[in-house]
C-alpha cells in the first residue's frame, strides 16, 4: 500500500469517527428531550439545522430497520425449516404436504414483500412461479398458448 493511500484511508476513517461522534452526541441529546434546534446549538459540527435533522432521521430509521431485518431473517429461516420438513413428501405426491409446502412458500413471498405490486394487487407472475415450483404449470401453459 502506498503512503498516499494510507493517508486517504486514515482521512476517511477519521471523518467517519467524527461523524459517528457527532451523531452519537446528537442522538443522546434527542433522547434526553432536546429539540433539534437546541441540539444544533450544542453540536456545532452540523453545518445546518437541515443536515442535523436529516442525519437524525437516517439514524433513527436504521435503528428501526436493523431489528426488522433480523426478524425477517429469523422468520424466513423458520419457514425454510418447515418447507424442508414437508418437501420430499410433497414431491412424492402427498397432498397435505404439497399444500403445506405451497402455503409456506406463499408465506415466504409475503414476508419478503414479493406478493404485492401496488395497493394490494397480487403479483400474478410470482404466483405462477410458485405454482411452477410446486409442479402446477397450468397457468404457465395457458400463458404460453396465448
19 plus 86 within the same structural domain: no
The per-residue pLDDT for range 54-109, each reduced to its tens digit, is: 999 888 888 887 787 888 888 989 999 999 999 999 999 999 999 999 999 988 88
136 plus 69 within the same structural domain: yes
Whether pLDDT at 143 is above 80: no
38 plus 88 within the same structural domain: no
d(Cα 100, Cα 86) in Å, to the nearest integer? 7
Q: Give the pLDDT mean for 118-143.
A: 55
72 plus 137 within the same structural domain: yes
72 plus 134 within the same structural domain: yes
Percentage with pLDDT > 70 across the chain: 71
The per-residue pLDDT for range 41-54, each reduced to its tens digit, is: 999 889 999 999 99
On whether residue 70 sits in a domain, the answer given is yes
42 plus 68 within the same structural domain: no
Per-residue model confidence (pLDDT) at position 79 = 93
Residue 40 structural domain: 1-46
106 plus 34 within the same structural domain: no
114 plus 42 within the same structural domain: no
41 plus 96 within the same structural domain: no
Residue bearing the bigger pLDDT, 9 or 28: 28
0.75 cut: is pTM over it? no
Amino acid at each position: 500500500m502506498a503512503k498516499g493511500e494510507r493517508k486517504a484511508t486514515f482521512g476517511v476513517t477519521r471523518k467517519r469517527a467524527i461523524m459517528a461522534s457527532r451523531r452519537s452526541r446528537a442522538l443522546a441529546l434527542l433522547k434526553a428531550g432536546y429539540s433539534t434546534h437546541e441540539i444544533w446549538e450544542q453540536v456545532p459540527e452540523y453545518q445546518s439545522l437541515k443536515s442535523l435533522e436529516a442525519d437524525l432521521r437516517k439514524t433513527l430509521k436504521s435503528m428501526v430497520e436493523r431489528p426488522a431485518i433480523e426478524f425477517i431473517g429469523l422468520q424466513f429461516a423458520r419457514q425454510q425449516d418447515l418447507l424442508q420438513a414437508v418437501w420430499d413428501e410433497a414431491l412424492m405426491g402427498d397432498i397435505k404436504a404439497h399444500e403445506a409446502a405451497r402455503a409456506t412458500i406463499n408465506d415466504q413471498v409475503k414476508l419478503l414483500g414479493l406478493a404485492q405490486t401496488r395497493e394490494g394487487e397480487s403479483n400474478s407472475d410470482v404466483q405462477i412461479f410458485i405454482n411452477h415450483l410446486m409442479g402446477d404449470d397450468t397457468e404457465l401453459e395457458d400463458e404460453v398458448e396465448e
